[in-house]
Structure 1
Amino acid sequence: MKKYAVIVIVFLFFSCENKENNLKILQGNAIGTTFSIRYIDARTIDFQPKIDSLIKAINKSTSTYIPTSDISKINKGDSTVLIDAYFEEVFLKSEKIYKETNGDFDPTIGVLVNAWGFGPGTKIEDLDSLKIKELLKFVGFDKVKIENGKVVKKYPEIYFDFNAIGKGYLVDVVGRLFEQYNITNYLVEIGGEIRARGVNEKNIPWRIAIENPNFDGSRSFATTIQLHDESIATSGNYRKFRTTEGGKKYVHTINTKTGFASESNLLSASVISKSDCADVDGYATAFMAMGLEKTQQFLKNHPELKAFLIYVDENGEMKTTTSTNFDN
């Protein structure tokens, strides 16, 4: 469930026309990817230092790539770490989505992410079903909890990996920063995950495009949509994978039940909702593990979510479908 490895398939369309010359643009790098922020405000507030501070704080809390972060200490078995509000919110959101998806979304998959060579930990060579069965003992969000501000794990080997929800969460935190300053028209994009509020510089809802999963590296677009005070996240497994000598393809989306990384008929899932970007980030990852049919049933039971899905049919042809409430 390594979301950092997911190819970005949301591409932003921006206009050159400024609304009363109050359109502000911020661009840069964060959590191993790029960000692009657009907002409309007549003031001259310098948000860059504030955003840099937020990125630093969230990295210190939830980045598995920083050895001294809280999550890294917890993963190493330190039970004395007092978690901050960032870690707690990501934990509680993950717990909610874990329960709703019957475990298809599970950030305790980290021990297997490392074993397959997709994480910062040590890769296990010649990984077989017996070794995976042993590791699955340390997977399951029902084996962890928060007590008195500390994370309690059933097994010290349990390894958290919030990368499947982390980009979306950082998007939310930055978006909330603008809201604290009463900025009502903004779009925050980090690594393809987006939170949009209000309208753009043309006084119309922010518009984005969803990219086709082209295997040859070219770029084309499946559809464009408007965001009406909504968030969108996209997950896909068609470009980031490993291939064995025998030609077997292993993708980064690891099945939380079997422990194996395998392909499904779902190539890409873009999830849209008025909820936080962290939420749709998590759902998009879960859908890749679920596959098309299970995802469609889940969407019927969750009308608060909209989705644009790209899949391969029984003839190997690439097709698209949407949830019944999808309106672009």
Structure 2
Amino acid sequence: MITTTVLLSGCDSKEDVNFKVEQGYALGTTYSIKYEVSGDTVSLKKDIEAVFEVVNKSMSTYLPTSDISAINRGDSTVVVDEYFREVYLKAKDVWRKTDGFFDPTVGALINAWGFGPESAIKDMDEEEVDSLLEFTGFNKVFMSDDYRIIKENKNTFIDFNALAKGYTIDLIGRMFDEKGVENYLIELGGEILTKGNSPRTNKVKNWVVAIDSPLQEEKEQRVLIAKIQLKDKAMATSGNYRKFRVDEETGEHYVHIINPLTGYPQKSNVLSVSVVADICMVADAYATALMVMPLDAAKKLLKNTPEIEAYIISADKDGDLIEYRTKGFQELLID
């Protein structure tokens, strides 16, 4: 599962010179941040990089010295910081509300079935799946009163990648707010947080974001399927862009996802999900969860979760796209 690339766009007009752009590479992906400043010499790049540093130190599974790496090695003496605690609590909340379909401990199963960065296990059978399920499940991970992470099984591997990028964006937004920045757009790996107005002088002052079609080929010119306007909102898109498969017999488009409840891959014709929320960590987590959930269950969740709006793209057996939008998302669309 990957996060889609979004196109930041706006209406044709001259941009305000007081908007500054910072770009770079962090958390395994690229970022582009546009924010309004009081003069040409003002730069908050060091402050932005400081946010990346504290998140990596706390939650990067690629950094051996991070808190989460120590916890995954079985160190139960680590007292986690405020950043880890906030992400942990939101992950637990989404895990509960999605009945376990959102699960930060599913990484071992993803790798075992050959959908992750590590080598797959050959000849996966019921016995192997059952053994992996023994240490899979966020219900087997707890946080003590003194902020230590306790795992029922030492082999349980925690990975907050499904919401850490969104949380990092939120932290940068908080930093901007504290420094009095009133208008900004923060994009990290295709996930976005906006505040105030874009540097446009015409009628459309909100930030405009375009969503790619999930059926475009890698070398094709970018195909946009929707454009929405955002103000004081976050959006995250999760999908299997260019990862779908076509059944040779039926012609059906589908993707393989791992069901954390059964431990087995399952077919899904959901190709992408875009979620809008007040904060990016929430949008990020639910975009991942809705990709894993059966479509009927996803629609039910959306009806019972007013804090999010969503746009779900699936494909029928002929490869034609089927779109489902909540009412709130529909109101954000522009021509």
| Shorter-chain TM-score above 0.5 | yes
Instruction: Select the residue among 65, 73, 81 that pairs with 1:68.
Output: 65
SS in 2 for 1:262: strand
State how 1:271-290 maps to structure 2 within 5 Å. 271-274=275-278, 276-290=279-293
Q: Does the aligned pair in 2 maintain the 1:64–1:120 contact within 8 Å?
A: no
TM-aligned CA deviation for residue 7 of structure 1: 4.2
TM-score (norm: length of structure 2): 0.88
Residues 1:54 and 2:51 are matched in the alignment: yes
Gap change, CA 1:315 and 1:251, over 3 Å in 2: closer
Instruction: Provide the rounded CA distance (Å) in 1 between the counterparts of 2:179 and 2:124.
Output: 51
Residues 1:255 and 2:259 are matched in the alignment: yes
Instruction: Select the residue among 31, 36, 46 that pairs with 1:35.
Output: 31
TM-aligned CA deviation for residue 325 of structure 1: 2.4
Q: How many residues get paired?
A: 321
SS in 2 for 1:270: strand
- Partner residue in 2 for 1:170: 168
Gap change, CA 1:261 and 1:309, over 3 Å in 2: same
TM-aligned CA deviation for residue 77 of structure 1: 0.6
Instruction: Provide the rounded CA distance (Å) in 2 between the counterparts of 1:305 and 1:16.
Output: 32
Q: Does the aligned pair in 2 maintain the 1:211–1:223 contact within 8 Å?
A: yes
* Partner deviation per Cα, 1:34-64 (whole Å, 9 max, x = no partner): 0000011214432111211221221121111
Gap change, CA 1:317 and 1:240, over 3 Å in 2: closer
Instruction: Provide the rounded CA distance (Å) in 2 between the counterparts of 1:250 and 1:93.
Output: 30
Match of 2:200, as an amino acid? K
Gap change, CA 1:223 and 1:215, over 3 Å in 2: closer
Gap change, CA 1:33 and 1:24, over 3 Å in 2: same
Gap change, CA 1:252 and 1:74, over 3 Å in 2: farther
* Partner deviation per Cα, 1:152-194 (whole Å, 9 max, x = no partner): 1111111101111111111111111111101111000000000
Gap change, CA 1:89 and 1:325, over 3 Å in 2: same
- Partner residue in 2 for 1:25: 21
Task: Structure 2: state its 5+ residue gaps.
Answer: 247-252
TM-aligned CA deviation for residue 27 of structure 1: 0.6
Identity, % of aligned positions: 44
SS in 1 for 2:214: coil
The RMSD of aligned alpha carbons is 2.5
State how 1:1-328 maps to structure 2 within 5 Å. 5-14=1-10, 17-19=14-16, 21-43=17-39, 44-119=41-116, 123-147=120-144, 148-202=146-200, 204-217=205-218, 218=220, 219-240=222-243, 253-274=257-278, 276-326=279-329, 327=331, 328=333
TM-aligned CA deviation for residue 268 of structure 1: 0.6
Instruction: Provide the rounded CA distance (Å) in 2 between the counterparts of 1:313 and 1:114.
Output: 28
SS in 1 for 2:311: strand
Task: Structure 1: state its 5+ residue gaps.
Answer: 244-248
TM-score (norm: length of structure 1): 0.90
Instruction: Provide the rounded CA distance (Å) in 2 between the counterparts of 1:9 and 1:22.
Output: 26
SS in 1 for 2:268: coil
* Partner deviation per Cα, 1:94-124 (whole Å, 9 max, x = no partner): 0010001011101011222332345565643
